[in-house]
Structure 1
Amino acid sequence: MKDQVLQRTTDRRRGVVEDVHLAVEIFIESVFDVVHKGAHYVLSPSEVWQKLFWWIHGNRVGNSSPAVDVPTANIGSDNPVPTERKTVYRHALNTDSRTCEDVITELGYPFQAIKVVTSDGYVLLLERIPRRDSRKVVLLQHGVLDSSMGWVSNGVVGSPAFAAYDQGYDVFLGNLRGLVSREHMDKNLSSSKYWKYSVNEHGTKDMPAIIEEIHKIKTSELGSSQNLIGE
């Protein structure tokens, strides 16, 4: 019995000693870390001043920076054409405000914007990198929650739209309702009625209208070129 009591007492002492050792090690590491940082700042005074400068001016900017207005589009209750609503942010956003047209024209390619009206009155934006005399036609259609920008955003080398045009294709870039295209023929259509559609209408209304418009355009252009050749 006496031996068991002595063993327990010894174990407790060992536990206390180990805890003390651990606390001492943590304290020593903290001291060395402070000394290391102090030596680093002493040997690099320019970095100290730079951090101090950014700390002071960063607080000033955070307290006095003007609010930045970011325009967003809304469908009005009386007019389905987008109206601009101001959203206030405290810091400027690093966003690229360029459109698909901006990217295409900045890179030196031709551009054409075409309005397409669906059977239920939605007005879609069909964008084009035109090669009017070409019989090779390609329609690049984005998916859900995307836009035609996805086909040109990687520049000349990495974008399917530019690659197709350089290979001799007449390139069309479709935009489905509700994204880039937010217009309707009925100017009095309410917001709730405008948004009352699903992805089914993308396939049954939007795509047929876009394809039909492309067919009309190419039939007219190629027919005119054939008439000129015949003359």
Structure 2
Amino acid sequence: MKIYLSGLDFDAGKVKYNDERLIKLSEKFKPKKIAPFFAEFITDDPEQADAVAVRKDNILDLLIPDIEKMEGRLERSENQDEKKLAEKCIRAMEEEKALCDIDFSEAEKSVLKALSPLTFKPTIIIDGDISTDELIGRALKKAGIMFFYTAGQDECKAWPAEKNSSAVECAGKIHSDLARGFIRADVVTFNDMMSVFNMHGAKEKGLVKTVEKDHIIEDGDIIEIKFNV
């Protein structure tokens, strides 16, 4: 995830996210390898960002270009629905609201996606001090990103995925072969995993769900994929 920073005193570059669940899983399994999630802070080319973090005092630096873009659309468009949408956006931004925080219909979202105003991206407004972990955590939440995990003695890894991702979609995040040859997945919640020694122990206690490809994976789930290619 690339996070564009505005008015925040952090260096550009990749930043490790200190995920408490991954830390606890690693303490439990003592794996040979730990693979945390890394975000990337950027200060140039905001169009490349997946999310935006802006200091509250700097919000107008982002809103003014978006307002100008919408005013230009309002002047040029002959479509009444687009004109109404542009006016709706301008009113909200004049109240210093990011567009990502406004309710839009699916049709309106489609138009805005094409126009790509910056604050339509997941935008978090920072008021006061914040750590890099807090910033990344808030950006992930705003963007609708969760984590699922793979955990064992070889490796513990945090995998980002969109909320409401299916088991087969999560399998594809790990490797395309796992999605292509998906048979089933064993799933255990983070809290249940922390109450036992390992996945085998979770199975013995009946804490593991064996699920089909359409099963929705929840934030924090630990999964094992059964596949055949």
TM-score w.r.t. length of structure 1: 0.20
- Greater share of residues in strand: 2
Larger radius of gyration: 1
Higher relative contact order (CA 8 A, sep 6+): 2
